[in-house]
Amino acid sequence: MPIRNRLAELHDEIAAWRRHLHENPELMYEVHETARFVESRLREFGVDEIATGIGRTGVVAVIRGRRTGSGRVIGLRADMDALPIAEATGAPYASKVPGRMHACGHDGHTAMLLGAAKYLAETRNFDGTAVLIFQPAEEGGAGARAMCDDGLMERFAIEEIYGMHNMPGLPVGQFAIRPGALLASSDEFEITVTGRGGHAAAPHEAVDTTLVAAHVLIALQSIVSRNVDPIRRVVLSVGIFETDSASSNIIAHRVRMEGTVRTLDPECRALAEERVRRIATDTASAFGAVAEVVWTPGYPATVNHPEQTVHAAEAARAVAGTVIDNVDPVMPSEDFAYMLERRPGAYIFIGNGDTPMCHHPAYDFADDAIPAGSSWFAELVERRMPVG
Ligand code: NI
């Protein structure tokens, strides 16, 4: 029985929740209405405990199995926040809020976990406790870390933690996972180079900051090609490069650039930071300019624990019939990484079919993936905490 019959029956109801959330997107920690909607549904299902305000606006539901003698506790997590993007899907349930949309499918993640909550509260066919986590601020706000800092893992005695994200390009309802790093760390840097401005016709009296900064920019690309072990994966991109010159006949005094570094392991992450700092300051110095580097650490790499990856893959195989269990890592990042730093667990991709990529204005979550996604959550709980 790949998809649980009950969850197949609930498909339309879960899709209706998903579309309601899609119409009413909220950003970062300001997911007040979304959290209230989640809380209301959980009350209707008759879960055993509901805690709100964890990590500011996170919601947690506790569902006990028909037996709890095993003492086991499994955590399942979904994210609730949307993005500051103007929606271009033309869907009848498109965002009602200008400039905001669920462009990453977190509406689908929340609805699928609610579907699992309804099923688990009805059936309770497990020996232990399921803790369902609805978190705010995945998109840049580190909501997962905020919930952990609020004592999430200890308060609910969570032993293992599992999460899921939809993946455009993977067939609907298929699953893909790998042990080890699945998503990258994401750090940002800002480099300000200061030379000496002047007249473009008298460069010998100036220190041409644009030229210096251009050397820095090019040298930064030697980090990936010359410093990083070729079998490791690192991305360094500079997205902003601006001078303070207002005219073609003025030599800039100051140049500012901003970039991002993505890596899959802490060694590469530390190496990249050290090299960015050194290249910027020493290159500038060689030209008689000064560089200042501000390094802002973002999410760490999302690293799946080997044993829990096997459990997650087995549950996926049971639901979908097959699973890709050694998919290539991808270089976006995900704050579920913080939960995996605190407890063993795993993060899996569920296919969203042939849709635009996440964060695209025409992206939409595939409602057809709902039964598989909700079933995977339920399957994990029943497999990891079997009755008898
Ligand atoms: Ni996302």
pLDDT of residue 2: 56
Q: How many angstroms is it from 386 CA to the middle of ligand 1?
A: 31
Q: Find the CATH number of the domain harbouring 343.
A: 3.40.630.10
Q: How many angstroms is it from 207 CA to the middle of ligand 1?
A: 44
Q: Which residues have CB under 8 Å from 188's CB, separation 6+? A: 258, 259, 260, 261, 295, 296, 298
Q: In the listed set 242, 266, 296, which residue is the last one of a domain according to the structure?
A: 296
pLDDT of residue 5: 86
Structural domains in the chain (count): 2
Q: How many angstroms is it from 105 CA to the middle of ligand 1?
A: 6
25 is written with which tokens? 């997107």
Same domain, 134 and 171: yes
pLDDT of residue 1: 45
Q: How many angstroms is it from 335 CA to the middle of ligand 1?
A: 9
pTM for the structure as a whole: 0.93
Q: How many angstroms is it from 104 CA to the middle of ligand 1?
A: 5
Q: How many angstroms is it from 139 CA to the middle of ligand 1?
A: 7
Q: Which residues have CB under 8 Å from 311's CB, separation 6+? A: 160, 346, 380, 383, 384
Q: In the listed set 296, 316, 339, which residue is the last one of a domain according to the structure?
A: 296
Strands (E), 204-344: 234-243, 250-251, 254-263, 290-296, 302-304
User: What are 66-86's pLDDT values in tens digits?
Assistant: 999 999 999 999 999 999 999
pLDDT mean by block of 10 residues, the chain; 388 residues: 79 98 98 98 98 98 97 98 97 97 98 98 97 97 98 98 98 97 98 97 97 98 97 96 96 97 96 98 98 97 98 97 96 97 98 96 97 97 94
pLDDT of residue 166: 98
Same domain, 312 and 275: no
Same domain, 170 and 64: yes
Same domain, 134 and 216: no
Same domain, 243 and 141: no
Q: How many angstroms is it from 250 CA to the middle of ligand 1?
A: 44
Whether 109 contacts 139, CB under 8 Å? no
User: What are 91-109's pLDDT values in tens digits?
Assistant: 999 999 999 999 999 999 9
Whether 101 contacts 87, CB under 8 Å? yes
Same domain, 291 and 306: no
HEC profile of 235-246: EEEEEEEEECCC
Same domain, 202 and 119: no
Q: Find the CATH number of the domain harbouring 265.
A: 3.30.70.360
Q: How many angstroms is it from 341 CA to the middle of ligand 1?
A: 19
Q: In the listed set 257, 279, 296, which residue is the last one of a domain according to the structure?
A: 296
Q: How many angstroms is it from 359 CA to the middle of ligand 1?
A: 8
Give SS3 for 334.
Answer: coil
Q: How many angstroms is it from 218 CA to the middle of ligand 1?
A: 32
Q: How many angstroms is it from 181 CA to the middle of ligand 1?
A: 17
Q: How many angstroms is it from 252 CA to the middle of ligand 1?
A: 40
- Domain span at residue 58 reads 5-180+302-384
Q: How many angstroms is it from 195 CA to the middle of ligand 1?
A: 41
Same domain, 307 and 228: no
Q: How many angstroms is it from 106 CA to the middle of ligand 1?
A: 6
Same domain, 174 and 197: no
Same domain, 211 and 63: no
236 is written with which tokens? 């360094």
Q: How far apart are the first and last CA of the chain?
A: 20
User: What are 201-248's pLDDT values in tens digits?
Assistant: 999 999 999 999 999 999 999 999 999 999 999 999 999 999 999 999
Same domain, 140 and 167: yes
Same domain, 170 and 314: yes
